[in-house]
Amino acid sequence: RDPDALTICVAAPAYVTADGSPDALAHARDQCRWFGGMVGNHVADLVAKYGEHSGMVPEELTAYIKDRQGYDYGHHGRAGNPDTAFVPDEIIDRFCLIGPAEAHIEKLRHLRDLGVDQFAVYNMHDHREGTIDAYGSTVIPALC
C-alpha cells in the first residue's frame, strides 16, 4: 500500500477557554483528564504486550501510567472520572486541545504540518456549546 495514499485522523478532546489564565487552564484540564485515563488503558495494554523497556512504547508514555491503580469502565469517557488522578497535566497538554481559540489553531496547524489530514473533536465536558461556537466562529475559519 502506498503510504502517501493514507489519510491520518487524530481525535482528542477540545476545550476552548476564554483566556489562558492558570485557573481557566486548570479547569479545562480537569474536564479533559478522562482522556488521559482512557489513553492510559491503551498504554497499559501495550506495555503488557511489549514490556516496559522494549523500546516499542515511548518512555514518556510508560512513565505516566506507573501510578495507575486500575480503571472502572463505568466512568469511561466522562469528565470527572475518579480513576484518572494518575494523569499529569503534561499528558493532558500533550494529547488534548485546551486553552483559548488561538492555542487550538496553533496546535492544529502543527498537526497539519506533521501530516494529519483530519481532526475529530471529543466534546465531552461542561463547555460543549462554547467550544462548538468557538470552533465555528474562530478555529475552523482560521484553518480554511
What is the tens place of the pLDDT at every residue in 26-48?
A: 999 999 999 988 888 788 888 88
Q: Does residue 96 surpass a pLDDT of 70?
A: yes
pLDDT, mean of residues 114-136: 96
pTM metric for this prediction: 0.85
| Cβ atoms within 10 Å, residue 114 | 9
In 62-95, which positions are buried (b, 16+ CB within 10 angstroms) versus exposed (e)?
A: bebbeebeebeeeeeeebebebbebbeeebbbeb
Helices (H), the chain: 22-50, 59-64, 89-95, 101-114, 128-134, 140-143
- Name the pLDDT band for 71 (thresholds 50, 70, 90): low
Share of the chain above pLDDT 90, in %: 60
pLDDT of residue 68: 75
- Name the pLDDT band for 12 (thresholds 50, 70, 90): very high
C-alpha to C-alpha distance for 80 and 32, rounded to whole angstroms? 8
How many domains would you assign to the chain? 1
Range of the domain at 90: 3-143
| Cβ atoms within 10 Å, residue 122 | 17
pLDDT, mean of residues 77-102: 87
In this structure, what DSSP letter does residue 75 have? Answer: G
pLDDT of residue 72: 67
Cell of 133: 461556537
pLDDT of residue 109: 98
67 versus 24: which is more confidently predicted?
24
pLDDT of residue 84: 80
C-alpha to C-alpha distance for 48 and 46, rounded to whole angstroms? 5
104 versus 82: which is more confidently predicted?
104
Q: Is 106 helix (H, G, I), strand (E, B) or coil?
A: helix
